[in-house]
């Protein structure tokens, strides 16, 4: 199998095994009356807590001691085995620990998959900037395929979604052992400091003003992404409480409607090389933040009837919101850090987006929604919720445009390609 095709398979299933349940776990949780919004916030925060330490730890292991593709395979197999246990769980407290264990295994594989792809492509003399985005597109397609599988199989409100993810994850783990070797660099001398010996050099990046700001704003945008993942599907599903929308196809197939977001991603991923070269990293990231404002604001005013176009446009805008920061951010880290700490730096980027930021987003949103946006009949004030999120994203965009100083030089992108 050709190198690019093998990496495409890797990318597809990397996100298939997540997309099968990530968007629908809220529907599963609330449909089965497993607990409160605060409890769900805690469960969803396990993605964040595990990202605080596991991507960085896995990056250190891959940089220093174990082949990245082997570590990747082991983690996916463990992730799949843990998900197989989810159908046995009947209460919020137990679900918290099971999902936490699964996330400890899964979250580091996102940054590892990037590192593995970059390493294999470079070792085979491919242009990473041009070749990686089309490969990464298939990760988004995998996420979409998983969402459709879950919805069309009638699994969005039951535990079958976790079985679907588990089987695919175990197969992916086995497949990864067949990939070209990605051995650790082992460039550290015996006389190196303990920081270097432990592979913690990537944390020195916080000493650089521009990189520190980049990581801080990664944290804030990580919170925004978490809000979409947590509440997007259940927001549309909740329209079933209104008689005029109860029998709507939009409500019945809410997960498929949400998958428009990922379909949009496929377009914007392919546009990243052009936008980076034309506008530079700062403007591309700023475009992402503005897109987050639109994402939330359109949800605030949308509904399954006259306002359906707003929901659909919000899903289209999501492609820019997600890709223009996450994929461009990954490429930014890849091309501005030394090769000896590259896996660790990718893990650090993951830690700030899906770790610190996602934890703050999960916990704060669960508390705020329960306290300020729960109506007397037990339903949620979704227009108010999404408008509050839009204001949050707008504040972040303004602060970023003022504080992040970066002058675009088109030749920098050309250098990235060689």
pLDDT confidence of residue 179:
87
pLDDT at 182 over 80: no
Half-sphere exposure (Cβ direction) of 44: Cα atoms closer than 13 Å: 36
Give CA–CA dist 78/71, Å, rounded.
11
Residue partners of 181: CB distance under 8 A and separation at least 6: 67, 69
Domain presence at residue 355: yes
Residue at token pair 């349940």 = 21
Domain presence at residue 190: no
Confidence of residue 77 (pLDDT cuts 50, 70, 90): very high
pLDDT at 7 over 80: yes
Length of the chain measured in residues: 418
Domain presence at residue 81: yes
Domain presence at residue 176: yes
pLDDT at 409 over 70: no
Residue partners of 304: CB distance under 8 A and separation at least 6: 236, 239, 245, 248, 250, 251, 311
pLDDT confidence of residue 218:
86
SS3 category, 1: coil
Give CA–CA dist 269/133, Å, rounded.
6
Q: Give buried/exposed letters for 68-81 (b at 16+ CB in 10 A, else e).
A: bbbbbbbbbbbbbb
* Domain range enclosing 251: 3-181+202-416
pLDDT confidence of residue 79:
96
Domain presence at residue 186: no
Phi, psi of 126 (to 5 degrees): -90, 155
pLDDT at 418 over 50: no
Considering the chain, what is the average pLDDT of its residues?
83
Angle at 299 between CA 254 and CA 47, to 5 degrees: 70
Lowest mean pLDDT among 57-66, 134-143, 158-167: 57-66
Confidence of residue 255 (pLDDT cuts 50, 70, 90): confident
Mean of pLDDT values over 352-381: 82
Mean of pLDDT values over 297-306: 90
Domain presence at residue 195: no
Lowest mean pLDDT among 12-26, 89-103, 338-352, 364-378: 338-352
pLDDT digits (tens, 9 = 90+) for 91-100: 888 999 999 9
Mean of pLDDT values over 386-411: 84
Domain presence at residue 346: yes
The token pair at 145 is 């395929």
Mean of pLDDT values over 310-336: 84
Mean of pLDDT values over 148-175: 91
pLDDT at 48 over 60: yes
pLDDT confidence of residue 194:
47
Lowest mean pLDDT among 9-18, 231-240, 326-335, 369-378: 326-335
Provide the domain count of the chain. Answer: 1
> In angstroms, how far is CA 305 from the centroid of its own chain?
30
Question: What are the residues facing 380 on neighbouring strands?
Answer: 374
CATH of the domain at 170: 1.20.1250.20
pLDDT confidence of residue 54:
77
pLDDT confidence of residue 84:
95
pLDDT digits (tens, 9 = 90+) for 267-285: 887 788 788 878 887 888 8
pLDDT confidence of residue 285:
84
Higher pLDDT, 185 or 295: 295
pLDDT at 16 over 80: yes
The token pair at 353 is 């987006």
pLDDT at 291 over 50: yes
Alpha-helix runs per DSSP H in 124-182:
128-152, 160-176
Evaluate whether 293 touches 227 at the Cβ level (below 8 Å). no
Confidence of residue 198 (pLDDT cuts 50, 70, 90): very low
Evaluate whether 26 touches 233 at the Cβ level (below 8 Å). yes
């Amino acid at each position: 199998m050709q190198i690019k095709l093998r990496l495409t398979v890797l990318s597809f299933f990397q996100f298939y095994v997540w997309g099968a349940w990530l968007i629908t776990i809220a529907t599963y949780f609330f449909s089965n009356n497993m607990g409160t919004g605060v409890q769900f916030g805690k469960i969803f925060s396990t993605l964040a807590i595990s990202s605080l330490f596991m991507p960085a730890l896995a990056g250190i292991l891959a940089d220093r001691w174990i082949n990245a593709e082997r570590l990747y395979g082991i983690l996916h197999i463990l992730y799949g085995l843990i998900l197989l246990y989810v159908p046995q769980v009947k209460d919020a407290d137990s679900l918290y620990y099971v999902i936490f264990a699964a996330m400890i295994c899964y979250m580091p594989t996102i940054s590892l998959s990037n590192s593995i792809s970059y390493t294999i492509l470079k070792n085979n003399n491919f242009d990473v900037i041009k070749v990686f985005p089309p490969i990464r597109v298939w990760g988004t397609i995998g996420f979409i395929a998983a969402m459709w599988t879950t919805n069309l199989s009638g699994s969005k409100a039951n535990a079958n979604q976790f079985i679907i993810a588990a089987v695919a994850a175990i197969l992916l783990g086995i497949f990864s052992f067949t990939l070209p070797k990605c051995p650790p660099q082992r460039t550290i001398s015996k006389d190196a400091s303990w920081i270097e010996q432990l592979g913690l050099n990537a944390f020195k990046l916080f000493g650089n003003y521009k990189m520190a700001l980049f990581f801080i704003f990664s944290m804030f945008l990580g919170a925004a992404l978490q809000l979409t993942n947590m509440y997007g599907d259940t927001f549309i599903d909740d329209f079933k409480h209104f008689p005029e929308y109860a029998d709507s196809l939009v409500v019945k197939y809410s997960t498929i409607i949400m998958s428009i977001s990922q379909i949009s991603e496929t377009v914007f991923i392919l546009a990243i090389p052009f936008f980076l070269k034309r506008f530079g990293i700062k403007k591309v990231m700023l475009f992402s933040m503005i897109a987050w404002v639109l994402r939330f604001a359109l949800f605030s005013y949308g509904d399954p009837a006259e306002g359906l176009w707003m929901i659909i446009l919000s899903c289209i805008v999501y492609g820019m919101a997600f890709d223009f920061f996450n994929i461009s951010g990954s490429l930014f880290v890849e091309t501005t850090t030394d090769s000896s700490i590259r896996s660790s730096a990718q893990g650090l980027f993951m830690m700030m987006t899906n770790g610190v930021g996602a934890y703050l987003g999960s916990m704060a949103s669960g508390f705020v929604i329960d306290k300020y946006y729960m109506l007397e009949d037990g339903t949620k004030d979704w227009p108010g919720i999404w408008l509050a999120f839009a204001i949050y994203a707008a504040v972040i965009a303004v602060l970023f445009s003022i504080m992040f100083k970066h002058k675009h030089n088109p030749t920098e992108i050309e250098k990235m390609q060689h």
